[in-house]
Amino acid sequence: MTFHPTRVIIKPYVTEKTLLLIEKENKLTFIIRRDATKTQVKNAIERLFNVEVEQVNTYITKYGKKAIVKLKKGYSAEEVGMRLGIF
């Protein structure tokens, strides 16, 4: 089943730890649909923010399903964070 990119990503997840991931490891963290796959998350991030994704890790928490998305070299997680209003 495919979803529109805006239906896969629910919202950015922002904590002190996720801000450090953005700065040090070029990674963004999002709350996503519980039934979303890593491939759907990758495609959604690439289409929504015009970046290339290197890796997606997902896990389920009490807050919902989270995805940690690492961007490829040459793309800035900080820039995407600024567009999202995180910084």
> Domains along the chain?
5-75 (3.30.70.330)
Write the pLDDT tens digit of every residue in 15-69. 999 999 999 999 999 999 999 999 999 999 999 999 999 999 999 998 899 999 9
Digit-coded pLDDT (tens) for 61-73: 988 999 999 999 9
pLDDT surpasses 70 at 1: no
SS (H, E, C) the chain: CCCCHHHHEEEECCCHHHHHHHHHHCEEEEEECCCCCHHHHHHHHHHHHCCCEEEEEEEEECCEEEEEEEECCCCCHHHHHHHHCCC
The whole-angstrom separation of Cα 53 and Cα 70 is: 6
